[in-house]
Amino acid sequence: ADLRFSTWAPPTHPLQPTGWEPWIQSIQEASEGRISVTLFPSEQLGSALDHYDIARDGIADLAYIAPGYQAGRFPVIALGQIPFLIANAKSGTRAFDAWYRNYADKEMGDIHFCMAYLHSPGTLHSKEPIAVPGDIDGKTVRPAGATIGQLVASLGGASVQVSAPAARDALEKGTADAITFPWGSLFLYGIDEVTPYHLDMPIYTTPFITGMNKAAYEALSDEDKAVMDAHCTSEWAEKVAFGWANFEDEGREKAIASPDHTLHEPTPEEVKAWQDAAAPLLDAWKADVTAKGYDADTVYQGLVDELKAAGALYE
Amino acid sequence: MSLADLTALGGFAALFVMMALRVPIGVAMGLVGVGGFAMIAGTGPALNLLAISPIRTITDYNMSLIPMFVLMGVLATRSGISRELFGAGQAWLGRFRGGLALATIGACGGFAAICGSSVATAATMTKVALPEMQRYGYPTNMATGIIAAGGTLGILIPPSVVLAVYAFIAGQDVGELFIAGIVPGLLAMVMYMAAVRIIYGRSAPAGHKTPWPEAFRSLFELGPTLILFAAIIGGIYFGVVTPTEAAAAGAFLTGLIGIVRRRLGWREITESLVEALRTSVAIFVILIGALLFGYFLAVTQTPQKITAFLVAMDLGAYGTLLIILAVFLILGCVLDAMAMIILLVPIVFPVVTQLGFDPVWFGVVVVMTVEIGLITPPIGMNIFVINSIAPEAHPVGIFKGVTPFVLTDILRLALIIAFPAIVLFLPGTMG
Amino acid sequence: MAITARPGILARLETVAKAIETVAGLMLAVITIVVFVSVMGRYLFTSPIPDSFDLARLLMGATIMWGFAALGFRGRHISVDLISHILPPVARRLVDAFAALVLLGFTALLAYMMFSRVSSAYFSGETTFDLRLPVWPFVALTWGGAAAAVLTTAIRLVLIVTGRAEALEAEAGAAPETNAS
Ligand code: NA
Ligand code: NA
C-alpha cells in the first residue's frame, strides 16, 4: 500500500526529519517494502484546521492532527492544553499517549487512532517582566490556543490572534505585549529579538495526533496491520516527539546562556498563584467532559497517575 | 508516464476546454480538481474535498480583507475621489504639453492606493479622464492607451487583491507584500510619466493653466483621502494593525468620510455594498476552485516533478526564472491575471524558492508580469473594460496606444530582476 | 425563437435576487464594523469585541455563500471570453447553457457535500474561541446560501434555455461591471 500522510507543518519543522521520516522508514523496513508512505507537508492537501476530517474522509490516509484547533470538538484530549499540568514532552508524551489510548476510540471513533504526542511545554515571553497572574491585567497576549485565551481574558488581558510568522511583528509594533510560545520556535521565528523577558515555568503544551483513515487501515493485510500496530504505540509516540522536544528545550538553554534574556523562575507562592488562576479552566474542562458522559475525575486522575509514574507531572 | 502524470495532463486539457466554453474559471478548476483527485484517491475522498475545503476558504479570517478592500475601492469611487484625484493632477500638471496624460497617470496611481483592482482602476479612470482628454484633442488611441497602462498600477500599488491572493497561495505575509509593492508601484508611475514626456512630449496638446490658489485648493480637497491612505499603509508598515484590520478600517473610514462630506447616502452605500459583494464572491469562487485544483496537483506530485525537471535542466537560477516568466507572459495573452496566479504559482513556487529567490520579491515580479498580460492582445482585460465603457475606442487602437507602456513595463521588470532591493528594501525595514 | 418574457415573473425574481444581495451586502458592512470596532476596543481599552475573529470569519462565509446564490442567478462569474463573441447567437446560447449546466452541477455537488459539514459541526459540539458559541448555526446559514444557489442557478439555466436571460439583464439594469484583476 502507498499511504498519503498529510501534515501542515513545513518540511523543515523538526517533526519531519526527526520524527515522521524515521517512523516512515521503520514502517517500510518492517513491512519489507509493502507499505510506503508519501509525506505531503505544508497544507498541500488541506487546511491545518481540517486534518481530522482529512483523515476521516480519506483525503489522506494518515494525518497530523491538532485537536485543539477546533475548540469544543474533542473535549477529553483538551486536558492536554490545561496549564501547569505537564512538565516535559518526552516521558510526558509517553504518559499522555498511554492515557489517551483509553479514550481515543470513543472520542475519535471515526478515525483509526495511531498516536498522541505533545510539544515541549511553552511559556510566556514578554516585552516587560511578567511574574504573577496580576501582571497580565491590561496586556495584550497572543495565546497558543483557546484555553490560554480564556486564561488571559480571566486575568484582565486581551487576546490577539495572529499567525506564528506574523507574531514577531505584532510584538515589535505593540499589537501584542506578550506571547505564549514554545522555547525553540521562539528563536526560529525571531520572536526572541523582541521578547527579552520569560517566565521560566512550563505553562502549557498542545496535544497532537497521528490518525489513520479507517478504511485505509482495514484494507491492509493482517501482516501489514500488525506492522502499523507496532508503529502506533506509546514508545513510538515518544520517539516521534523526541527530536522536536530537544529542539524546543535547546531554545531555553540558548535563552539562559544569552545576556539579552532574563528568565524569571517563579517562587512557590507565585506558582501557586498561577495554578489558582488556572483552576477555573480545569473546572470548565471537567464540566465539558461530564456533559459528554465521562466521569471527569476518573479521566483526570488517569492522566495525573500516568504523568506521575513517568516523572512528567508538574508539581 | 505514470497514471498520475496522465491524469494531470488530462486535467489541464479538461480545464482549458471548460474555460473556453465559458464555464466560470473557479468552477472549471474546482470540478477538474475534484474529478482528478477522484481518479487518484477515489470518489469518496474527492467529494469530501467539497465538504471541507470551500467552506474553509470562505471562512478564512485573513481572506476577509479582500471584500473589505474591494468595498473601500467601490466607496471611494462612489464618493467621487477619482474625480478629485484627476482634478488635482490636472491643476498641477495640466499646464504642460501632455499634461493631461501625466495627470491621468498620477490620478491612476492615486486611485490605485485605494483600489485593489487594475480593471476597476482602468474603468473608473476611463469615465473620469477620457472625456477630458478627448475635449482637449487627444487622439482616442493615445488617451485610452494611457488609461489602460495607468490602470495596471491598481494591482501593484497597495492594496492589491492580486498580491493578497498570491500571499494566500504562497503562504506569505500579506502586509509584507503590500509594503513591497510600494516602491515598484511608484517606479511604474514615474516610468509611465517619463514615457509620456518622451513619446508624446511634442505631439500631445497642453491642457489649461490652473491658477495657483485653485491648484492648492485641489490638494486640500484630497486631504482626507491622502490621510486615509497614509494611515492604512502606515498601520500595516508599522504593524499597528493586521492587514485585515487595516482593510476594515479603510472601508469603514472611506464610507464615513463619504457620509460626512454628503457624497454617500443610504442608496449609494447599499449599492456599493452589493457591488463589492458581487466582485468578492467572484474572487472567492476562483479561490475555492484554485485550492481544489491545487489538491489534485499535489496528489499527482506535478509541482515536485516540474521542479525536479527544471532544476535538472541546469539553466541556472536566472535562466529558469526567465523560462517561468516567459510562461506567465505567454499565458497572460489569453488568461486572466488572477487565474494565472492561482494556476501557476502553486506549480512554480517550489521551483523558485528552491533556486533561492525571495518569495516576497517573486510575488511582486509575478504580479508585474501578469499585469503586462492585462494590456497585451488578444485578451487584455483592461483593454476590454475600457472598450466596453468607451465603444468609440477600438480594441486594436487601444492596443496600439498602450504599446509604448508595455515596453516600459518590460524595462521595469528587468530592473527589478537586476536589483531586487527595489522590492525588498522597504519591507526589510519593517523590522 | 426568443419567447417573449413574462415581465411579472422576471421582475419578481429580480426583486428576490436584489433582496438577497442587499441583506448579504449589509452583512458585509456588519463584519467590517465588527472588525473595526474590535481594533479600536483593543487599542483604547485593551478590550476587543469577544469572538470578533470568529464572528468575522464565520459571518463572511455566510455572506459569500449567499452572494454566491445571487451571482448564480445573475451569471456574473469570472469566465474567459475567448470564442463566444465570434459565435452566432444560437451557438452562443448553447455555450451559455452548457456553462450554466456545469455551474449547476458544481453548485449541487457543493451544497450536497457541504451539508455533512453542518451535521458534523452540530454533533461534534464545535464552538467559537472566546464565547464558546456553537459554530453549527453559522455553518447552517452558510449551507443555506449554497442550497439557495442551486435554486438560483437552476432558474438561470431555464432562462438561458428559453431565451429569457437577456430580458433578465435588462430587468437588472446596467449595473457597473466589476472585475477582480
Ligand atoms: Na491598489
Ligand atoms: Na493579455
Name the percent of chain B lying above pLDDT 70.
100
- Whether A161 and C128 lie within 8 Å, measured CB to CB: no
> Closest to A158 (Cβ–Cβ): which among C46, C120, C128?
C46
Q: Is the pLDDT of residue C177 over 50?
A: no
Residue C5 one-letter amino acid: A
Q: How far is residue B316's CA from residue B303's CA, in Å, rounded to a whole number?
A: 19
Q: Do residues A197 and A127 lie in contact, with contact meaning Cβ atoms separated by under 8 Å?
A: yes
* Pick from A73, A172, A189: nearest CA to A122: A189
Q: 3-class DSSP state for residue B130?
A: helix
Q: How many CB pairs under 8 A join A and C?
A: 42
| Chains in contact with B, where contact requires at least 3 CB pairs less than 8 Å apart | A, C
Q: How much is the pLDDT for C84?
A: 67
C78·B249 Cβ contact <8 A: no
C180 pLDDT band, cuts 50/70/90, is: low
Question: Do residue A138 and residue C46 have CB atoms under 8 angstroms apart?
Answer: yes
Least CA distance to B373: which residue of chain C? C181
How close A175 gets to chain B, by Cα (Å)? 6
What's the confidence (pLDDT) of residue C173? 56
The predicted structure's pLDDT at residue C2: 46
Measured CA to CA, the distance from residue B103 to residue B86 in angstroms comes to: 6
Sheet containing A62-65: give its strands across: A36-40, A2-6, A62-65, A207-212, A112-118
Element spanning C143, H or E: helix C136-161
- In this complex, the residue of B45, B51, B173 whose CB is nearest that of residue A166 is B173
DSSP string, C14-31: HHHHHHHHHHHHHHHHHH
- Residue A178 phi/psi, 5-degree rounding, is -150, 165
What pLDDT, in 10s, does the model give residues A18-58?
999 999 999 999 999 999 999 998 888 999 899 999 999 99
Average pLDDT of chain B, as a whole number? 89
For residue B136, give the C-alpha cell. Answer: 482637449
Report chain A's mean pLDDT, rounded to a whole number.
Answer: 94
Q: How far is B176 from chain A (nearest CA, A)?
A: 10
State the pLDDT at residue C46: 75
Task: Examine the pLDDT at C140 and tell me if it is beyond 60.
Answer: yes
Least confident segment among B8-17, B396-405, C69-78, C159-168: C159-168
What residues of chain A, 151 to 170, have a C-beta less than 8 Å from chain B? 161-163, 165-166, 168-170
Say whether A173 and B294 touch across the interface (CB within 8 A): no
Per the CB < 8 Å rule, is A172 touching B239?
yes
Residue C7: pLDDT over 70: no
Residue B431, pLDDT score: 52
Nearest-neighbour CA in chain A from B163: distance (Å): 17
Q: Comparing C-alpha atoms, which of B251, B283, B109, B123 is closest to residue B181?
A: B109
Q: What is the pLDDT of residue C175?
A: 43
Q: What is the pLDDT of residues A208-251, one digit of tens each?
A: 999 999 999 999 999 999 999 999 999 999 999 999 999 999 99
Confidence of residue C79 (pLDDT cuts 50, 70, 90): confident
CA distance, residue C106 to nearest chain B CA (Å)? 7
Indicate the pLDDT class of residue C172, thresholds 50, 70 and 90. Answer: low
Query: Given an 8 Å threshold on Cβ–Cβ distance, is B53 in contact with A50?
Result: yes
Chain C stretch 144-173, residues whose beta carbon is closer than 8 A to a beta carbon of chain B: none
| Predicted pLDDT of residue C176 | 41
Q: Is pLDDT larger for residue C166 or for residue C153? A: C153
Residues of C in contact with B391 (CB under 8 A): none
Quick: pLDDT tens for A62-118. Answer: 999 999 888 889 999 999 999 999 999 999 999 999 999 999 999 999 999 999 999
Residue C179: pLDDT band with limits 50, 70, 90: very low
Q: What is the pLDDT of residue C171?
A: 64
In angstroms, the CA A6 to CA A9 distance is: 9
- Tell which wins on pLDDT, C30 or C79: C30
A141 CA: distance to closest CA in chain B (Å): 14
Distance from CA of B43 to the nearest CA of A (A): 10
Q: Measure CB to CB from residue A149 to each of C47, C126, C130 and give the nearest one.
A: C130
* % of chain A at pLDDT higher than 70: 100
Q: How many residues does chain A have?
A: 315
Neighbours of chain C (3+ CB pairs under 8 A): A, B
CA distance C106 to chain A (A): 19
β-strand partners of A263: A198
What's CA B345's distance to the chain center, in Å? Answer: 15
The C-alpha cell of A36 is what?
510506503
Residue of chain A whose Cα is closest to the Cα of C124: A73
Cα B119 to ligand 2 centroid, rounded to whole Å = 13
Inter-chain residue contact B68 with C32, CB threshold 8 Å: yes
Q: Does C74 touch chain B (CB under 8 A)?
A: yes
Contact A53 B48 (CB under 8 A): yes
Q: Which ligand is nearest to the CA of B247?
A: 1
* C86 interface with B at CB cutoff 8 Å: no
Task: Write a three-state SS string for chain A.
Answer: CEEEEECCCCCCCCHHHHHHHHHHHHHHHHCCCCCEEEEECCCCCCCHHHHHHHHHCCCCCEEEECHHHCCCCCCCHHHHHCCCCECCCCHHHHHHHHHHHHHHHHHCCCCEEEEEEECCCEEEEECCCCCCHHHHCCCEEECCCHHHHHHHHHCCCEECCCCHHHHHHHHHCCCCCEEEECHHHHHHCCHHHCCCEEECCCCECCEEEEEECHHHHHCCCHHHHHHHHHHCCHHHHHHHHHHHHHHHHHHHHHHHHCCCCEEECCCHHHHHHHHHHHHHHHHHHHHHHHHCCCCHHHHHHHHHHHHHHHCCECC
- Name the residue facing B52 among A40, A53, A175 (closest C-beta): A53
> Would you call C124 and A53 a contact, using CB atoms and an 8 Å cutoff?
no
Element (H, E) at B227: helix B212-237
Nearest to B408 by CA among B230, B71, B152, B36: B152
Distance B245 CA to ligand 2 centre (A): 34
Conformation bin of residue B120: beta by default, left when phi > 0, alpha when psi is -120 to 50: alpha
Place B359 in a pLDDT band, splitting at 50, 70 and 90: very high
What was the pLDDT predicted at B169?
82
Chain C residues touching B21 at Cβ < 8 A = 95, 98-99
CB contact under 8 A, B295 and A172: no
The residue that leads in pLDDT, B431 or C147, is C147
CB nearest A72 (choices: C53, C120, C125): C125
The Cα-based distances of B311 to B8, B299, B347 in angstroms read 20, 21, 13
Residue in B closest to C92 by C-alpha: B21
Residues 6+ apart with CB under 8 A from B327: B344, B348
Beta-strand pair A112-118/A197-199: unpaired
Taking the CB of residue B96, how many other CB atoms lie within 10 A of it? 18
Q: B311 falls in which pLDDT band (50, 70, 90)?
A: confident
Q: Which pLDDT score, from 0 to 100, does residue C174 have?
A: 44
CA distance A236 to A26: 11
Measured in Å, residue B383 CA sits from the centre of ligand 2 at 9
Out of A54, A162, A173, name the one closest to residue B240 (CB). A173
pLDDT at A21: 97
For A210, B207, B236, C58, C128, the CA distances from C53, given in Å and listed in that order, are 28, 51, 18, 9, 9
Looking at the partner chain, which of C18, C53, C106 has a beta carbon nearest the beta carbon of B30? C106
> Chain C residues with CB inside 8 Å of B72's CB?
none
pLDDT at A230: 98
Q: Is B48 left (phi over 0), alpha (psi -120 to 50) or beta?
A: alpha
Which residues in chain B are contacts of C139 at CB distance < 8 A? 55
Q: How many CB atoms neighbour CB B295 within 10 A?
A: 30
> Which of the ligands is closest to the CA of residue B409?
2
Q: Looking at residue C87, what DSSP letter applies?
A: S
Query: What is the rounded CA–CA span in Å between residue C7 and residue C95?
Result: 25
Residue C153 has pLDDT above 80, yes or no: yes
Tell me how far apart the alpha carbons of residues B343 and C123 are, in angstroms, rounded to a whole number: 36
A94: cell is 509517553
* Confidence (pLDDT) at C4: 53
Asked whether residue B378 carries a pLDDT value surpassing 90, the answer given is no
What's the confidence (pLDDT) of residue A307? 97
Q: pLDDT tens digits for B84-129?
A: 999 999 998 888 888 899 999 999 999 999 888 888 898 889 989 9
Give dist(CA A270, CA A273) in Å, integer: 5
Phi then psi for A179, rounded to 5 degrees?
Answer: -145, 145
Assess contact for B348 and B164: CB atoms under 8 A: no
The partner residue sitting opposite C178, judged by closest CB among B162, B275, B285, is B275
**What is the predicted pLDDT for the residue at C181?**
57
Distance between C21 CA and the closest CA of chain B, angstroms: 6
pLDDT band at B333 (very low <50, low <70, confident <90, very high): confident
CA distance A280 to A268: 20
Query: Which residue of chain C has the CA closest to A143?
Result: C129
> Within its chain, how far is the Cα of B142 from the centroid?
22
Q: Which of A172, A266, A190, A44 is nearest to B238 (CA)?
A: A172
Percent of chain B at pLDDT above 90?
A: 49
Among B304, B392, B285, residue whose Cα is nearest residue B342: B285
The Cα–Cα gap between A36 and A27 comes to 8
B345 pLDDT higher than 80: yes
Question: Which cell is A269 given?
Answer: 507562592
